[in-house]
Each structure stands twice: as C-alpha cells, then as structure tokens.
Chain A
Amino acid sequence: MKSIISLSGMFILVLMLSSATSFAADVDDRLNRLDDSVKKQEQTIEQQQATINDLKADLERQKGQGSTQLPAPGPQTTKASGLFGGSALTNPNISVVLDMFEYGSNLKNDELANQGIAGFTTEGLEQQKGFNLRAAEVFIFAPVDPYFNFYTNIPFTEEGAELEEAYVVTTALPEGFQGKGGKFKSNFSRLNAQHPHAWDFWDIALPHRAFLGGEGMGGEKGVQLTWLPAMSFYTQIGAEVLQGENPLLFGPDAKEGPHAYTLFVKSSVDTSDYSTFYFGPSAVFGKTKTQSVIPDAEVVGKSALYGLEAVWKWKPASREALTIQSEYLVLVQRGDSTDLATAAADSLLRKQDGFYVQAIYRKNRWGIGVRYDVLALLYDTFEQGGVQQGTGGKPHRETVSLEYNPSEFSQMRLQYNHDRTDMTTRRTNNEVILQFEFSIGAHAAHAF
C-alpha cells in the first residue's frame, strides 16, 4: 500500500518537473487536475483496503466457528458406487476360489470308484486317496445395464474348464417379481443352490447325493421366475422350467425339449434380534431316462422329488454363530427298468426318502460341525415288476468337522465321515478329509 502511495508521489514529482518546462500559464490548471486525480486514486485505494479488511474479518469469524459453518450445497466428491462396490468401474468383478483337499480312507481307490448306494445311485466316489483338486472356480459378474445383472461360474478342474453357471437376473421388474435365465443352479432345496465351496461340510448331504448326485442337481439350462410379495414376513415363491439334464434324476435324452419343472416357497421369520428361522417346501418334477439308478439297466419314466428345508441361525455377536439345518427329501419315481444286456423290461416304482440334520458352531476363527444323514428313513419302496427289492437297511452316515478360518477369504477344514451307506458288503468307509479353500478378487456375498 505504502509503495503505491510513494509511487504516485514520485509520479507527481516527475510530472511537476516536466511541467516546469511547459507553458507557465498551464501550470496551475495542470497541478489542480493532478491533485484531483491523486485524491481520487487515494479514495479508491482506501475503499479497496476496507473491502480487504471486511473479507479478512469474515475469514477470522469462520475460522472461529470451525466445522460449525453450514456446508456448501452439492456433493463433495463424485464417486463411482456400483452394485458390487465402488472400486470396479466398467470391468466385470472377478473372483477365484481354490478348493483342494487331502483324502484318507480305509477303502482302496477302485473300491471308492464303485462306492454307489444300492437302490439309489450307481455313481461312485470321484476322489482319490491323497491330494485332490476339486476346482479353481472362477466367478465373473457385473450389471449388464439398468435391467440385468450377469453372473458366470466356471470351475477349472484338472479335466478342463466347465461352464457350471452363466445367467442373467432381472433388476427392473415391478411388484417384487424377478426373472432369471441361462444356466444356473436350481433353488430346489437349500444345498442345491450353494456352490461346493460354500457348503458347511466338505461333501453334500446324503439325500442330495442319493437323488441328485455328488454336486446336487448342478447347473441346468432354463428360466426361473420368483416373486417376493410385500408381506409382514419374508416369503419368496418361485418356479423354474429346466432342460432336465441331471444324469441321475432326469437325463438329457428323457424327452426332446425342457422336461423338468420346479416349484418352491422359502419363508423366514426373525425369532429374536439375533436369531432367524428359515424354512420352506420345494418340489421338482420331470421325465427320467437314466442308467445311474440300477446297475446295467436303464430307467425310463417320471420322477417327482419333494423337499422340505429348515434352518435356524443364532448370531449373538459378529464373530459367533450357531446354525442348525435340516432337509427332508422324498422321491417318487414311476416307469420301467430295462436290463441293458437282456433287454428284459420290468415296471419300476420307487418311493424313497432321505433326511439330514447338521449343526455348526463358529466363534472367532474356529468352527465345529456335526451332521447325521440317513436314507430310507420312512419310505423304502423299490419295486421291480411289483416285487419289493431288498436294499438291505437304512444307509446312514455320521460326520464331525473342525474348521479354522484365518480370515473370511481362507478356510481350513478337518472332517471325519463314518459312512455306513454300503448295505451290500456292509463295510464302513472311514473317511478323513483335510480341506483348504482360498478366495481372491471381488468380495463374495454373505448369503444367509
């Protein structure tokens, strides 16, 4: 400020000196005009100084108030926040889950391969003694557009890659309706829709293995419609039309075109702030053509599998939970069985059931689990040509497991199965499994 004033002073001096050489008559007039202009400049400077002082005072006041000043309107930051998280923009979300295990048994490898369940399935056990790699499962998912979300699941095994699931889910249907289409795991029963790495034990429950196979129904091509009405408690109703390729229950050649249909209802109530009960019936019907039920014979006919599921979960703290889960399945199968060698045909009627109950308690990094499975619990009808075939008793299995989970992305499990499903030779299969699971990439959902 001072420098501006002294500059103007010097300017006036220079002007005065120069004016001394000009016409004497002009001097007074010129000096007066200069005087005026300097005064005007000084006034402007004073006004500007006042404005600066006001602004400074404002700033001081605002500092004094700290964070109490009202926020300016408008978002502070512009952030991408997609359905699956803000860190991925246009790339799909990718995760990989490695599922491997070490397997021990008192049976030999060739005996395991023939270890079907008489009267239910001729499919043996796939695992070998020693180290096994179940899969490195790749999940890729992202919204397609505002109307669809897209999911794929490709388990890579030592035999190659397999397209287990690839489907879209609608997001924009009104009134609580949702469609799904592509290849997906059916929502028939509870275990069926879960991926092997999400099971609470290393293996699937016995009723599912006996009626659907070692991985359940598996991915089926088809469409699904579900409805979640806005009621006072959670109830989801759904139906599916599926191609029916499950080799044990249906068979890809049972009929040209889709030949399996499901209906399911899933309901839930919170029994307290920290506990939830979840239950519901489901059913799957379809045409059957399979060689996996009776050794060296083909079964052709109709099948209906009914299920009832119930889960109670108590979660008193973030890292503590008790889950009790049970399912009951009943199969009704009518048709003919044809001996592959002699071509002799017989009528076939099966009405068989299976049940399991399991409990898992997890606290911090540890978990313990127990499970009991049984087949032919209430129904044991297996009639060929109207004659009941002896299956030799109730196949059953007891299981205990111990889990160690260093984080939510890694899991180790030690499991023991006392498997009494071989009613023919009555040999027990004592299985010990040490399983490892690791997942990387996009965050998987914590489903109930």
Chain B
Amino acid sequence: MRRLFVLISLLMLYAAPAFAGINIVATLPWIGSAAKEIGKDKINVTVLIKPGQDAHAIEAKPSMILAARKADIIMYDGLDLEIGYLPLIIESSKNPKLIPGRPGNFDCSQFIAALDKPTTVDRSMGDVHPLGNPHYHFSTSRVLRVAEGITRLLADADRGNAGYYEANYKAFAERLHEKEKQWRAVPLQGKKFIAYHKYFEYLSAEYGFRIIGYIEPKPGIPPSAGHIEGLIETMKKEKPDAILVTPAYGMKEAESLSAKTGVKIIALPHDVGSMSGTDDLISFWNKVITSLK
C-alpha cells in the first residue's frame, strides 16, 4: 500500500507546458468572446462555462481551478452571478494574481449600470440578485463599455501592444455600430412577450418591447400549476406576441404553455455559442434581435 501510494504520487508529477501571451480565464462565453475581440492572438482565453450550460448552477470543477491557477487575469460577470463557485475557484487556484483588488481580478459589472436592483431582498423571493440583474450581456452598449474596460486592462498589462488593443476595440465598435443600424430597423417597439427567466430585461429596455409575465414565478423557482393558470389568464387578456425561452432552461414548460395558449415560442441563445450561428458577440446579438421579429 505504501509503495502504491508513492508510485501514484510520482506518476502525477510531470513537467508543465509553457504558455505565451496573456492567459485569461473568463467565466462565461460572452466574456471570453469580448476579450478575444480585443486581444485576438495576443491572449489565450479559457472559458469555464460551456455555452450549453446554465451559469446559475455550476460547481467548481478541478479543471476550472487548474485553469485559474495558470491565469494572469480572471474575468467574470459579477453582480454575484458566480457567487456559488468563483470564490472557491479563486481561493483553490492558489494564484495571488486573482484575488480581489488586483488587476487580475476583473469584474465586468464595474463598467455597467445594472437594472432590476431590488430595494429589499430575501430568499423567499427566489434566487434574486441583490446587486441587480446580472444578464447584461444582452445590452450592446453595456458590453461595449466592458470591452473598453478590457482594452484598458490589456493595454496596461501589455504596454507594447496597447495600440493593437485600441485598434481592435475601434474595429469592434465600428462593426457593432454598422450592425446596430440594421437591428434598429427591426420593429420591436411595443411588442409584448412572456419569458421563462429574467434574461431579456436589458434588451427590452434598449429596444422598447415589454415582458409582461414570467413562466418562473421567482428566479430559479420552477412554476407551479397555479402560477401557470394565472399566466394563461394574463396571456388571454394581453395577447403577447411570443414566449421567449432559451434551449438550456425551461423549454418543456414553454412548450406546454404554448400548446395551451397558441402563442408561439421563440428560442433564443442565452449566451455566445449556445445556438448555431452565434459564435461571437455580434452574431449572438444578431440572432437574438432578428429572432424577435
């Protein structure tokens, strides 16, 4: 047994491969995509959460801890979205660059004004985020601010390439402005939708449509029969244009609601890469906005 122990211990030790460029760990796919727009080939990006996964229920897997161990910068959504696993990842990574207060600890929400900030919070309201709705990646203007913050972060960390990062930011902003002219032409003003989760609040604020009801009675709490009945009543009165749902979250409930009310379902990606043709931020927003027509 003692010999086996030593043998297994030795087997686990072998040389570490070398990395070039700034190592960035991003919790969510959209953050990784934003970093990639600015850093391109000068950075290595590891995204912890797979596009198909739901950011609310993630465990600190050892592979995530290892990625953080090798990182120069960890970028996260903030507003307590990652509170369940990020503190553990940062502490277990044993990487002093990532502790709060250091430049390597990059909270993307520091650049944005959050919506839905509740004045009083307790958990009887479900999994409410006291700092506001954390799904601000549906807001192009907010993500652009984050991208600008990333530009400054990278320019500080790698001064030799500061001009390169700034040029990438400008190119990204210009591409986004061009696309936004098309998106602004999509008639979404005054449309009414039902949604499963509070994902689309930022989009509704920017494009002037309304979310008149939620399939989830409270964030993270699955619906009861009584709640669904009430929702059907609302839908009969208000006649919403569609039910908005993401493939990872609540598809079954949305389908049954659609069958009962005849209101169509619009499936939207919840993050970059979670549906086909949404491989970067701009194609993700494009898919979301054009799907809402």
B93 touches A228 (CB 8 A): yes
State which of A288-296, A313-321, A340-348, A390-398 sits at the interface with chain B: A313-321
B209 within 8 A of A: no
Closest chain A residue, CB of each to CB of B248: A318
Q: Are A447 and B88 in contact (CB under 8 A)?
A: yes
* Cβ contact within 8 Å between A281 and B4: yes
Q: B58: which A residues are within 8 A, CB to CB?
A: 318, 446
Q: Which residues of A contact B230 (CB under 8 A)?
A: none
Residues of the A chain whose Cβ atoms lie less than 8 Å from the Cβ of B181: 68
Cross-chain contact of A281 among B9, B65, B88, B148 (Cβ < 8 A): B9
Interface 1/0 per residue, B192-229 and A, CB below 8 Å: 00000000000000100000000000001110000000
- Residue A22, interface by CB 8 Å: no
- Cβ of B16 and Cβ of A446 under 8 Å apart? no
B window 92-110: CB within 8 A of A: 92-96, 99-101, 107, 109-110
- Contact pick for A70, options B2, B8, B65, B173, CB 8 Å: B173
Q: Say whether, besides A81-B107, A87-B130, A283 and B62 are in contact (CB < 8 Å).
A: no
Q: For chain A residues 398-427, which have a beta carbon within 8 Å of chain B?
A: 407-409
Contact among A66, A76, A231, A315 with B184 in the assembled complex (CB-CB below 8 Å): A66
Would you call B96 and A228 a contact (CB within 8 A)?
Answer: no
> Within the complex, what minimum Cβ distance (angstroms) separates A254 from chain B?
21
B70 contact set on A, CB distance < 8 A: 230
Interface-forming stretch among A26-34, A37-45, A244-252, A262-270? A262-270
Are A84 and B87 in contact, with the CB atoms below 8 A? yes
B277: interface (CB < 8 Å): no
B131/A87 in contact, CB under 8 A: yes
Segment among B32-40, B137-145, B233-241, B256-264 that sits at the interface with chain A: B137-145
Interface membership of A3, Cβ < 8 A? no
A159-199 near B? 1/0 per residue, CB < 8 Å: 00000000001011110111000000000000000000000
Contact with B along A232-269 (1 / 0, CB 8 A): 11110100000000000000000000000001011111
Give the chain B neighbours of A149 by CB distance below 8 A. Answer: 91
Contacts of B5 in A (CB 8 A): 263, 281, 283, 306
What separation, in Å, do the CA atoms of A83 and B13 have in the docked complex? 30
Q: Give the size of the chain B interface in residues (CB under 8 angstroms).
A: 76
Asked if A86 CB lies within 8 Å of chain B CBs, one says: yes
Whether A56 is near chain B, meaning CB under 8 Å from some CB there, is no
State whether B60 touches A445 (Cβ < 8 A).
yes
The CA-CA distance from A232 to B70 in the complex, in Å, is 10
Contact: B83 with A85, CB < 8 Å? Answer: yes
Proximity string of chain A (105-123) to chain B, C-beta cutoff 8 Å, 1 when within and 0 when not: 0000000000000000000
Task: Take A77-B112, A87-B131, A228-B94 as given contacts and tell me if A318 and B53 are in contact as well, using a CB distance cutoff of 8 Å.
Answer: yes
Q: Count residues of A near B (Cβ-Cβ below 8 Å).
A: 75
Is B61 interfacial (CB 8 A cutoff)?
Answer: yes
In the complex, whether B180 has a CB less than 8 A from a CB of chain A is yes
Contact B16–A276 (Cβ < 8 Å): no
Contacts of A375 in B (CB 8 A): none
Report chain A residues within 8 Å CB of B249.
318
B267, chain A: closest CB distance, angstroms: 16
Separation of A317 and B57 alpha carbons in the complex (Å): 9
Q: Beta-carbon contacts of A317-329 to B below 8 Å, as 1s and 0s? A: 1110000000000
Q: Are B177 and A68 in contact (CB under 8 A)?
A: yes
Proximity bits, B9-32, A CB within 8 Å = 1, else 0: 100111111000000000000000
| Shortest CB distance A353–B (Å) | 9
The reply to whether the CB of A386 lies closer than 8 angstroms to some CB of chain B is no
- B90 with A83: CB separation less than 8 A: yes
The answer to the question of A158 belonging to the interface, with a C-beta cut-off of 8 Å to chain B, is no
Residues 42-58 of chain B, each 1 if its beta carbon lies under 8 Å from chain A, else 0 = 00000000100110111
Q: How far is the CA of A84 from the CA of B88 in the complex (A)?
A: 9
* Contacting pair B141 A267 (CB below 8 A): no
- Chain A CB count within 10 A is highest, among B4, B131, B152, B249, for B131
Closest to A282 in B: B5
B247-258 interface bits toward A, Cβ cutoff 8 Å, 1 = contact, 0 = none: 011000000000
Contact of B63 among A146, A226, A268, A443 (CB under 8 A): A268
Extra contacts besides A68-B181, A71-B148, A87-B130 (10): CB < 8 Å: A75-B111, A76-B145, A78-B110, A79-B107, A83-B99, A173-B96, A235-B13, A283-B2, A306-B1, A443-B84
| A and B contact pairs by CB, cutoff 8 A, 23 listed | A67-B180, A68-B181, A75-B149, A76-B112, A77-B113, A77-B114, A85-B83, A149-B91, A178-B94, A231-B13, A232-B17, A263-B9, A265-B12, A268-B62, A270-B63, A278-B62, A281-B5, A281-B9, A315-B59, A317-B248, A408-B84, A446-B57, A446-B85
Interface residues in chain A, defined as those with a beta carbon under 8 Å from any beta carbon in chain B: 65-68, 70-71, 73, 75-79, 81-87, 143, 146, 149, 169, 171-174, 176-178, 226-235, 237, 263, 265-270, 273-274, 276, 278, 280-281, 283, 304, 306, 315, 317-319, 330, 332, 364-365, 407-409, 440, 443-448
